[in-house]
Amino acid sequence: MKVTFDLPDDFIAQLHPLEDKLPQILELGLRELNAINQIEFSGVAEVLEFLASLPTPEAIIALRPSEALQAQLSTLLEKNRTVGLTTTEEQLWQGYEYLEHVFRGNS
């Protein structure tokens, strides 16, 4: 597929040395854009930041959700018990379950 863009000259100058990497740059940019537009899944960022600090095994075992994340989890649990979750909320819940599985399964 051929795509044509009208870009400012200063931007083209930045891209020119990376011409052979443009497909990769576009793919990474789309992934980032999609990640930003995902449901409010802040738990992932919190866990990744924690893991990036290279915590001790004891710190991993002691890790608990932040107050904001715990409040969101409590809200989803209560809503699931009472009126049920929307499709979006169900996807969010499944994401949290997966995150817990990955995190706790590796500790």
pLDDT tens digits, 36-79: 555 455 667 777 778 888 889 898 888 888 888 888 899 999 99
Tens-digit pLDDT profile for residues 68-87 = 888 889 999 999 999 999 88
User: Does a structural domain hold residue 75?
Assistant: yes
- pLDDT at residue 74, as a whole number: 93
- State how many domains the chain has: 1
Please give the pLDDT value at position 33. Answer: 63
Sequence-distant (≥ 6) Cβ neighbours of residue 44 within 8 angstroms: 95, 99
Residue 37 lies inside a defined structural domain of this protein: no
Domain assignment present for residue 82? The answer is: yes
Range of the domain at 78: 42-105
**How far, in Å, CA of 106 to CA of 60, rounded?**
10
pTM of the model: 0.52
- For the chain, list the strands marked E by DSSP: none
Q: What is the rounded distance in angstroms from the CA atom of residue 104 to the CA atom of residue 106?
A: 5
* Alpha-carbon dihedral sign for residues 45, 91, 37, 71: negative
C-beta separation of 39 from 92 below 8 A: yes
pLDDT (mean) for 18-25: 87
